[in-house]
Amino acid sequence: MEWMIGRRIKIKTSSDEEIEGLIYTFDRITNCIALDCSTGSRHSRKSLAFRIIKISHIKDIVTVTSDEAAAPLQDPAIAHTSKLTSYLPVNMVHLDRIVARENEAAKAMRQQAAKIGVGVTKEGQDIFDALTKTLPCRWANDSIVVMDEVIITPPYDVDSCKANASAAPSLARVKKVLEGERRRLKIGST
């Protein structure tokens, strides 16, 4: 099939759909061809229209000559060529960059998931979300741990804040921020 790359063809699929385009590439592993079905000779990235078709789904292939007459494709010697022109270059795919992006995305998703409390009330989640905007927070079961020093247990009010004596300044700061966030969220004291 490689000898057909760059030729304008018309194909008829097993579902009787007719598709015309330039053969852009053939993949032996997937046994598919990629057709550029764009119209016109000038291509820009936005106007390219590619179709990927499995060879097993093709009923008939004919080549299209410059005067739009069609001839069956059987042999490279009788096939008419149509040059691939003005395509944007296909750059090398850097697998290490793709793996790094995938790892970064997975890490970001784990961080987002860690910000969602399991078995907590909507009020508890709202308070956590508000606190994380100004203070580093994480969930420990249904308790909010702030700055790794202060623990806020349900019902997540100022009286629910606990810390060691050595973390008294942090406790005072967290209580003040929590009180302000509860006021902003219009959550009454319980």
38, 49 Cβ separation under 8 angstroms: yes
Does pTM surpass 0.85?
Answer: no
pLDDT tens digits for range 5-44: 888 899 999 999 999 998 888 888 999 999 998 865 554 5
Question: Of 82, 88, 69, whose CA–CA distance to 22 is shortest?
Answer: 82
The CATH fold of domain 2-72 = SH3 type barrels. (2.30.30)
pLDDT tens digits for range 130-183: 999 999 999 999 999 999 999 999 999 999 999 999 999 999 999 999 999 999
- Contact partners, residue 94, CB within 8 Å, separation at least 6: none
Tokens 């080549």 found at: 63
- Per-residue pLDDT band at 81 (split at 50, 70, 90): very low
- List where CATH 2.30.30.100 sits in the chain: 2-72
**φ and ψ at residue 170, rounded to 5 degrees:** -65, -40
